[in-house]
Structure 1
Amino acid sequence: MSTTQETAQIPVIDISGGQPDAEIGRALVDAAATYGFVYVKNEGKDIPVAAINRMFDLSKQFFASPATEKEKCKITQTIPPSSGGPSFLPSRHTNGPTKSILRLLYYPPIPPSFPSSNHLRAGAHSDYGSLTLLFRLPGQPGLEILPPSSSIAFTPVPIHPPGTEGDVAPPVLVNIGDLLSAWTNGLLRSTVHRVVFPGEGGGDRYSIAYFAHPVGTTVLETVPSERVRRAGLESGTSSGEGVKGMTADEYLLGRLRATYKGLYDNGEKGKGK
């Protein structure tokens, strides 16, 4: 598949007001339903910029460490659950152990002579879970999506989309995963994306990704929403056949086994963005 020179027209939405807003909610759903991706404007009010910068500093320190130090940081358990929420989806992501995970990602530099045009840093894929929060650094591009308007041309996703060039930090990029797409009868789009080399002699690339998954024992019954019901009627999946009766852990394990041909009994193979 080719790459178009145009950039993805993913909406930028500011949710830093602190109070729920119906208009913002509709804009978020519309973006997720159309693109599967949405930029969340970050002015440091909800996630301090200093905290993000500290995580990137930690990531650089970790990946520069010897292998003996890295081996001490093997993943041994899932992220502990946070406090429960009042709505359908938050309560199913917080009231028990989940497979949600925060990952520090690093792509080493490549020699100037490396033929990068025919190679990928991360192949085309969609994420498995509910949604992903992606933090990137200025000057380190590479992410591309396959937009709904095209089935053959990947489109670059800017780190600073138009209108955010002067922000204190790049907006957080959020994308919908396969599970949430199936859970909503396909209303919310899970979009294929990849990471390419930014050109000849591409340098270091760091990113931080939070992969959110529901509580493992959650039964994936169709989300009780009129808009989700209508989406199911339009797509012919109104009963949520793709996930009906499955728990979140069963869904994830099935995807892993299908992808990695039975190599996994539990857990999740790393993916990069």
Structure 2
Amino acid sequence: MPEAAAIPIIDISAEEADQAQVAKELLFSWTRVAAAVEYGFIYIKNSGRDISVEQIENAFNLSRTLFSSPLEDKQRCKIEKNNRGWSGMHTETLDPETQRVGDFKEGFNFGPFAGSKATQPIPASIEPHQAELAAFRFACHSLCRKLLLLFGIGLGVSPPDFFSTAHAPEKPSGSILRFLYYPPPSSTPTARPDQDVRAGAHSDYGSITLLFRLRGQAGLEILKTPSSPSPPEWAPVPVCPPGTEADPASPILVNIGDLLSYWTNGLLRSTVHRVSFAGSDSNSDSSSTTTPNSESSTDPRYSLVYFCHPADDTPLSAVPSERVRSFNGGDLADADAKTKNPYAERKVLTANEHLQMRLRASYLELYDREDREKK
């Protein structure tokens, strides 16, 4: 079995924590200073101060309720170009260059809520719980802005709240709360674990991503940075890394998205990741379904994801930071190839233009259907 990814665990909510020191820890984990050992991911110790354990448990329960809803009820909420709604099995193809079929998962994307009410169709089974969903989504966005403020402090951005202000919750943006359900391999007879993955290799589209997972559920893997043109190596990412097993809740996994990497000229790095069937390296025995830390991929897998994006009209021009300006891009050209970024040269985009470019590549059928209808 491959060795688990060595990802740092940081407590950003300790009452005695010094903001400047926490910012320094975050940036050391995410900047391109030791690419061979950095993954663009961190764990945040989940003390319950930012998002309560009860909120997370309730969101997972609502996810189970949503995905067990009648098919016709979910189809009524089918995903649209605004990136909101339900996506069924194989609807999304995160790695179209290598995947035989689309992802083996269902998803439901929640956009903004207005007065604790959804602004999109949702299944009847969760309509009574809109206020709870709205509160959880708001808590996720607030935690992201807290992290973004720390980035501003650590990078010496002027003003320090440059990033957090660009992600003000009242502004229209591509930010999405996503529920994901991966059926057990026994319920996906068309899957070929030696060829297929539950979710294709990809890097995230936005600024930062929060990922909540359940103990014992394996599958997430990070692409290790190769030192030579050797075959890709995948490192499993345990739900509970050593030292957190007794915590009230699993730590929250946080990663940088392509937008923030692009925005900072590659100083902050995004990383390719996937969800596998076996929870093991693609070059190892694919019949194995248990990871070294006793997590299993034989059961259904649920995850909650918050994708944080800047306001739609935010220009992704130079960040007002001397550290960003003086960074020469390092191995940015190589990194673009590895992370499948669809742009090879620097150009100013708005946050919404960046998102639409990425969505078109992932939802082939949705956009192809629209193109055919225009002809």
Q: What's the TM-score once normalised by structure 2's chain length?
A: 0.62
Deviation at 1:110, TM superposition (A): 1.8
Preserved contact between residue 126 and residue 190 of structure 1 (Cα < 8 Å): yes
- SS of 1:57 mapped into structure 2: helix
C-alpha separation in 1, matches of 2:226 and 2:192: 29
How does 1:120-199 map onto structure 2 within 5 Å? 120-148=197-225, 152-198=232-278, 199=288
Preserved contact between residue 266 and residue 329 of structure 2 (Cα < 8 Å): no
* Identity within the alignment, %: 51
Deviation at 1:149, TM superposition (A): 5.2
C-alpha separation in 1, matches of 2:319 and 2:261: 10
Paired amino acid for 2:111: T
Partner of 2:298: 202
Deviates more, 1:117-126 or 1:213-222: 117-126
Does the alignment pair 1:89 with 2:122? no
Partner of 2:196: 119
Alpha-carbon displacement from aligned partner over 1:84-142 (angstroms, at most 9, x marks no partner): 98710111111510010001100011229875343210111111111110000001010
Partner of 2:104: none
Distance 1:97 1:123, change over 3 A: same
Distance 1:98 1:155, change over 3 A: same
Deviates more, 1:104-113 or 1:246-255: 104-113
Deviates more, 1:58-67 or 1:76-85: 76-85
- SS of 2:328 mapped into structure 1: helix
Paired amino acid for 2:244: T
Distance 1:183 1:154, change over 3 A: same
Deviates more, 1:218-227 or 1:180-189: 218-227
Unaligned runs of 5+ in 2: 32-37, 79-83, 86-109, 114-137, 150-159, 279-287, 290-296, 334-342, 369-375
Partner of 1:7: 4
- The partner residue of 2:309 within 192, 213, 218 is 213
- SS of 1:141 mapped into structure 2: coil
Deviation at 1:69, TM superposition (A): 2.8
Paired amino acid for 1:123: G
Partner of 1:29: 27
Deviation at 1:25, TM superposition (A): 0.5
How does 1:34-113 map onto structure 2 within 5 Å? 34-74=38-78, 75=84, 78-79=111-112, 87-94=161-168, 96-111=171-186
Deviation at 1:165, TM superposition (A): 1.1
C-alpha separation in 1, matches of 2:324 and 2:161: 16
- The partner residue of 1:246 within 349, 352, 368 is 349
Alpha-carbon displacement from aligned partner over 1:164-206 (angstroms, at most 9, x marks no partner): 1111111000111111001001011110000011344711000
Over aligned residue pairs, what C-alpha RMSD do you find?
3.0
Deviation at 1:16, TM superposition (A): 1.4
C-alpha separation in 1, matches of 2:212 and 2:197: 20
Q: What's the TM-score once normalised by structure 1's chain length?
A: 0.84
- SS of 2:327 mapped into structure 1: helix
Unaligned runs of 5+ in 1: 266-273
Deviation at 1:20, TM superposition (A): 5.6
Preserved contact between residue 243 and residue 251 of structure 1 (Cα < 8 Å): no
Partner of 1:270: none
Partner of 1:271: none
- SS of 1:144 mapped into structure 2: strand
C-alpha separation in 2, matches of 1:195 and 1:110: 13
C-alpha separation in 2, matches of 1:125 and 1:250: 19
Distance 1:122 1:235, change over 3 A: closer
- The partner residue of 2:324 within 225, 228, 251 is 228
Distance 1:233 1:44, change over 3 A: closer
| Higher RCO by CA contacts (8 Å cutoff, separation 6 or greater) | 1
